[in-house]
Amino acid sequence: MGLTISKPNVYRDWNESSYGLSNGILGINCRHSAGFFVPGKSTFNPVKYDESANAERYKQEQKQRRYERELRKTKRARNIARDLGDEDETRRLNQKARLQSQRLREHIAEHDLRRSKVRERPMDKPVVVTIASNNQIEARNPADGTGAGIYTGYAKLTKRQQKLDAMLPESGKRITINKRDIKMKDLSALTAKNGCEYAVFTKGGQRILARGSSTNAMVSTEYLENLAKDGWRFSGHTHPGVGHVVRMSSQGDKNVLKLFKQKQSVIYDSVGGFDVFDSEGGNHENR
């Protein structure tokens, strides 16, 4: 009579694994594959990659992602300009998008990368569904808090922006807050919602946020002179509307810059586009 010696099973039962869960093995974005393994027979022969070549390819792929983001951003701005009937801005952004697209294609060809046209298309109504856990799904709109999203009616203010909005219920009001509690692009979101100018002044870790009217920031020359004497800087302000023409600096903007003895400041529009301007009248278009 033969004697059979059984060895203890050192492998977990597959049914006890995370297989079948969205964040488990072979789940969403998992790139593993399943295959047969025979103890004592199967060998593991991983493919060896050139680390320097792999690092270089990663660098070029990240550059491709950046080019794609910039192209999508331009296309979104172009679509907004087109919807608003701004033909000059639409033509300008179309030309910019063509140049960015050409740059992207040349980069892909030069480094033998894989092109994805989906990543080059703007989303007019972006909604992302994030799986927070195995049984909880949370919907998030990445356009929330952006001037473009609010201006086109696809999004809303963030909770932080809503708090700022509540603290400035009408034109002519000003508040002093911590610098970390407001970003410059929050101005575009507030302008998109209320259709009025906002101005920001910075000193150390503090900022003054002023709400103006549809045509000016409603801060007196005397008040500005006192700010300048106390060491505040004119960080930037908004002009309601969309496009480079809207972001052109006025003589009043230049006078304020001279009063603060600054070389430059920035003007944002309602969708997050901005231009840098100087006290001599120059506008340096950014996007």
In contact, 268 and 238? CB cutoff 8 Å: yes
CA–CA distance, 21 with 27 (Å, rounded to integer)? 6
Instruction: Retrieve residue 100's tokens.
Output: 């960015």
Predicted local distance difference test score (pLDDT) of residue 33: 77
Predicted local distance difference test score (pLDDT) of residue 2: 45
What does each of the 287 residues of the chain score in pLDDT, given as a tens digit?
Answer: 444 445 556 677 777 888 878 788 888 777 777 777 787 888 877 778 788 988 999 999 999 999 999 999 999 888 887 877 788 888 999 999 999 999 999 999 999 999 988 889 887 554 454 555 555 544 567 788 888 889 888 889 999 999 999 999 999 999 999 999 998 889 999 999 999 999 999 999 999 999 999 888 889 999 999 999 999 999 999 999 988 888 888 888 889 989 999 988 899 999 988 888 887 765 555 54
In contact, 178 and 207? CB cutoff 8 Å: yes
Predicted local distance difference test score (pLDDT) of residue 81: 79
Determine phi and psi for 212, rounding to 5 degrees: -110, -155
CA–CA distance, 158 with 272 (Å, rounded to integer)? 15
Q: State pTM to two decimals.
A: 0.54
105-121 core/surface letters (b: 16 or more CB in 10 A; e: else): eebbeeeeeeeeeeebe
Tell me the DSSP string of 81-146.
HHHTT-HHHHHHHHHHHHHHHHHHHHHHHHTTPPP-GGGGSPPSS--EEEEEETTEEEEE-TTTT-
Predicted local distance difference test score (pLDDT) of residue 20: 76
Predicted local distance difference test score (pLDDT) of residue 279: 78
DSSP class of residue 5? P
